[in-house]
Amino acid sequence: MAPRPTPRALAAPAPGWTADADVVVIGSGIAGLVAALRCRAHGRVLLVTKALLDAGSTRWAQGGIAAALDADDSPADHLADTLTAGVGVCDEAAVRVLVTEGPDAVRRLVDLGARFDLAASGEISLTREGGHHRRRIAHAGGDATGAEISRALRAALKETGIEVIEHALVLDLLKDGAGRAAGVTLHVMGEGQPGGVGAVRAPAVVLATGGLGQVFSATTNPDVSTGDGVALALRAGAEVSDLEFVQFHPTVLWLGPGARGRQPLVSEAVRGEGAYLVDGSGERFMVGRHELAELAPRDIVAKGIMNRMRETGEPCMYLDARHFGADMWERRFPTILAACRDHGIDPVTDLIPVLPAAHYASGGVRTDLDGRTSVPGLYACGEVACTGVHGANRLASNSLLEGLVFAERIAAAIGAEPLPEIPEADLAAVPGTLPDPAARGEIQRIMTAYTGVLRDADGLATAERELAALGGDAEPGVAAWETANLHLVASAIVAAARRRTETRGSHWRADHPDRDDAAWRGHLVTRLDGGELTTHFEEMA
Ligand code: SIN
């Protein structure tokens, strides 16, 4: 059966209410909150978010935010580590922006109220994570960096009085007659808010919707990470890039073979502070596989773990951090300690069972250095975006920094020119049907089985066929809209993954085991064209 073409908009009733803004920001992680705070100087900002303001990935970020803050460090060193992790396909200009603007952006975050852990000297205390050749990761509350950044930014937002709509699932981009972004449609559920399907009309739309980890069965991402921004951008005709590079975090707490949904992370910083990876017999299997051993870039560690599991037949590997002792565990990693103890593991006395799980989309909606997408008036920042800084594999703790730096750049770009008037847009109902929400589990099963760390042509062809066969005739509703988004994003990931017949970065093609083929040094750019996904390769200069 031929797949049904993907419509340019989700089936939905006509908006029952409208609101106007100069800038509508969608999402409330570090990128969305910073974009909203900084855009306020340029006009009326409306921030919409899918659940509560702190429900996205930012608050779960443990390790920290990377920046060359130490006197002995430099943006050039940070650049070199980022390019190495990205294995040849980072956009060097974007990385240069990230690493040179990063330190001051972090200092501005402190000015906004974020309280990082301090060393005895009074300077920000810095730790190390995989792929970093020096200590460069600022952290807060030990291992609760994202929660502290989210707290500080939400407090700052409250002071500004910026209007917020929570429990708002964004549906589609509105466009004016010239094809420019004109706002979004969205569905809101919540007391004291406008209800049902509505429209926000705005000449500048900033997508900061976060990740897509929920396309896999087990992920570190929260439930809200269903790829809504990438799906919206595809339906709007925008280019997305590098989607095949889904990063798997090497050390996610293993909760057993049937574990589903958001899984507890065991931060790289635990290894940064001296924990070892061992197999069931206690052997440190990363030693000798890479000069940085357990602190190799995370794709190398994830593959090392998967390889060792295959060699030994064990269902997981183990982190040994018993030598930290109770005091260090309680002071430095209270969140991880509590999560482990909640699951009956005491890291002070036990090995921690770990396994790689889907963690981060290194690709996303393609942007320029100011966050502009290929649709005029539509911007993207944070995990939903592909600025080019991550290449094939994001360097640890570069994600919060990317959200921060590029959100500020978007605000500066929006402020640099007078904003157009509130645009007119077609607010008619969108006819059609949607996939059955029951397909969500099937999508996750297919993606986990065939599109994980280890891939091959047969498996990816099966994934494409099985995804195309998923149908349904559901009425509009939150579960059906989310399932449509997951289905479109999963299909786009598979299309790009099939095309890239080499092993690079976050994934490993069993049928193309040689790494980093020079002919594949470039980007796979995907669009939705006439209802079909098309993917083309752009070689890098
Ligand atoms: C971690 O703390 O290991 C996660 C940090 C990141 O994903 O960059």
State the CATH number of the domain containing residue 456. Answer: 1.20.58.100
Q: Torsions phi, psi of 485, nearest 5? A: -65, -45
Are 330 and 381 within one domain?
no
Structural domain includes residue 96: yes
Structural domain includes residue 210: yes
pLDDT at 489: 98
Q: What is the mean pLDDT of residues 80-88?
A: 96
Are 162 and 32 within one domain?
yes
Structural domain includes residue 185: yes
Are 341 and 195 within one domain?
no
Count of domains observed in the chain: 3
pLDDT at 506: 83
Q: What is the mean pLDDT of residues 301-320?
A: 94
Structural domain that includes position 93: 18-245+362-415
Q: What is the mean pLDDT of residues 122-138?
A: 94
Q: What is the mean pLDDT of residues 294-307?
A: 90
361 C-alpha to ligand 1 centroid (Å): 13
Residue 497 has pLDDT above 70, yes or no: yes
133 C-alpha to ligand 1 centroid (Å): 16
Are 163 and 312 within one domain?
no
Are 217 and 136 within one domain?
yes
432 C-alpha to ligand 1 centroid (Å): 40
CA 208, 521, 81, 101 dihedral sign is negative
61 C-alpha to ligand 1 centroid (Å): 6
Structural domain includes residue 11: no
Residue 150 belongs to a domain with what CATH number?
Answer: 3.50.50.60
Q: Quote the CA–CA distance of 221 and 212 in Å, as a whole number.
A: 8
Q: Quote the CA–CA distance of 82 and 68 in Å, as a whole number.
A: 12
Q: What is the mean pLDDT of residues 453-466?
A: 96
Write down the mean pLDDT value for the chain: 95
Are 377 and 240 within one domain?
yes
Task: Read off the tokens for 159.
Answer: 């002071």
The H or E element spanning position 172 is strand 168-175
Q: Does ligand 1 lie within 6 Å of residue 335's CB atom? A: no
> Which of 117, 127, 129 for mutating ligand 1's site (highest number of atoms within 8 Å of CB)?
129
pLDDT at 298: 85
Q: What is the DSSP string of 52-83?
A: STT-SSGGG--S-EE---STT--HHHHHHHHH
Q: Does ligand 1 lie within 6 Å of residue 269's CB atom? A: yes
Q: Quote the CA–CA distance of 525 and 500 in Å, as a whole number.
A: 11
Are 406 and 463 within one domain?
no
The H or E element spanning position 404 is helix 398-415
Q: Which atom of ligand 1 is nearest to the CA of 130?
A: 3
Question: Which of 284-293, 299-308, 402-411, 424-433 ranks highest by mean pLDDT?
Answer: 402-411
Are 325 and 188 within one domain?
no
pLDDT, one tens digit per residue, over 37-55 is 999 999 999 999 999 998 8
249 C-alpha to ligand 1 centroid (Å): 8
Q: Quote the CA–CA distance of 15 and 332 in Å, as a whole number.
A: 49
Sheet holding 378-380, edge to edge: 163-165, 45-48, 23-26, 204-207, 378-380
Structural domain includes residue 198: yes
Q: Quote the CA–CA distance of 332 and 329 in Å, as a whole number.
A: 6
Are 325 and 463 within one domain?
no
* 463: confidence class by pLDDT, cuts 50, 70, 90: very high
Q: Does ligand 1 lie within 6 Å of residue 397's CB atom? A: yes
Are 451 and 394 within one domain?
no
Q: What is the mean pLDDT of residues 295-304?
A: 89
Q: What is the mean pLDDT of residues 153-157?
A: 97
Q: Are 170 and 347 in contact (CB under 8 A)?
A: no
Q: Torsions phi, psi of 127, nearest 5? A: -115, -175
241 C-alpha to ligand 1 centroid (Å): 22
Q: Does ligand 1 lie within 6 Å of residue 268's CB atom? A: yes
128 in active site: no
Are 211 and 313 within one domain?
no
- Beta-strand relationship, 196-201 and 276-278: unpaired
Structural domain includes residue 426: no
Q: Does ligand 1 lie within 6 Å of residue 63's CB atom? A: yes
Q: Which atom of ligand 1 is nearest to the CA of 268?
A: 3
Indicate which residue of 96, 201, 298, 394 is catalytic. 298
Residue 404 has pLDDT above 90, yes or no: yes
> With a threshold of 0.85, does the pTM exceed it?
yes
Structural domain includes residue 537: no
CA contacts within 13 A on the Cβ side of 175: 15
Q: Are 237 and 210 in contact (CB under 8 A)?
A: no
pLDDT at 299: 84
Other Cβ atoms closer than 10 A to 261: 14
Residue 172 has pLDDT above 60, yes or no: yes
Q: Does ligand 1 lie within 6 Å of residue 396's CB atom? A: yes
- CA separation, residue 23 to residues 228, 379, 380, 521 (Å): 19, 10, 13, 36
pLDDT at 192: 66
Q: Quote the CA–CA distance of 19 and 163 in Å, as a whole number.
A: 11
Are 222 and 271 within one domain?
no
pLDDT at 2: 54
Q: Does ligand 1 lie within 6 Å of residue 58's CB atom? A: no
